[in-house]
Structure 1
Amino acid sequence: MTLVKFNHHPAHRTFGGLIDEVFNNTARVWKDDVLTNDFFGTYPPVNIQESKETYALDILVPGWSKEDFKINLENNVLTISAEKKAEQKNEDQKQIRREFSFRSFKRSFSLDETVDAEKIQAKYENGVLQVQLPKKEQDLPKSKSITVA
């Protein structure tokens, strides 16, 4: 199974530009890259574990409901996405500050032939979307006893 990676910043930086960014723009880089509202909203963090029988994806997405998620498998690419709709504004109230945002995300994973697509399961609890990707029976390692001659 392969994680589809995204690059947020250009990879081609000069050494001088990198030093200048580190020493002169540290606050801006920290603010723009980490403290923005959509840093974790655009690409939620994912843990991937593998056992003998399954792959397991744990995606950290607090504040969503299970109805918000769409999970699709097409051409061995598993796509997990979610979108929240904006809530209705109350005309009787004045908005002084708004820190809640309604956003979406989309993550894609390339699956190999060992995953049994018919048995994929997902559940959402305590802010973590858990996706189980069972391996096909014939691909599971078999134990075999070997006698010494």
Structure 2
Amino acid sequence: MKSAYRIIVVDDDPANNLICKHIIHRFDKEAQVTLFTDPAKALEAIKEIYSLGTDSNPTIILLDINMPVITGWEFLEKFKMLDEKIRKQITIYILSSSIDDGDIEKADKNPYVKAYFQKPLRLETVRLILQLPSDHPTDKKLP
């Protein structure tokens, strides 16, 4: 059975992206995890892949906010300009090292951001994002 989980990680730090992929695959080895270190390329891929609006599997984006060329906030501004049929297929979570209350508040006010989580990605965060029960079967396999 193919996984219904499709997750896009947008973060300029390749090491963090690999950590995210590893943590996600601990819950579901079949999850489709796509990594982008360039937010502009992520937006282009999203436009291309989701423009048909026919995919029944929702997509989750884990978005960093502190990136050098296009910040997460700028990404969200560009995301807002995408067609609604694209936007409604995607749920965005901020995954950032920032502990600034202003960033957390800004994320909370953004209609496209579902929640704000601190880096690094943790097993409990994946459980919350994927809405898995605390006694999820994969917990038994985790060290």
Normalising by structure 2, we get a TM-score of: 0.22
Structure showing greater relative contact order (alpha-carbon pairs closer than 8 Å, 6 or more residues apart): 1
Normalising by structure 1, we get a TM-score of: 0.22
Write 1 or 2 for the structure with the bigger share of strand: 1
Larger radius of gyration: 1
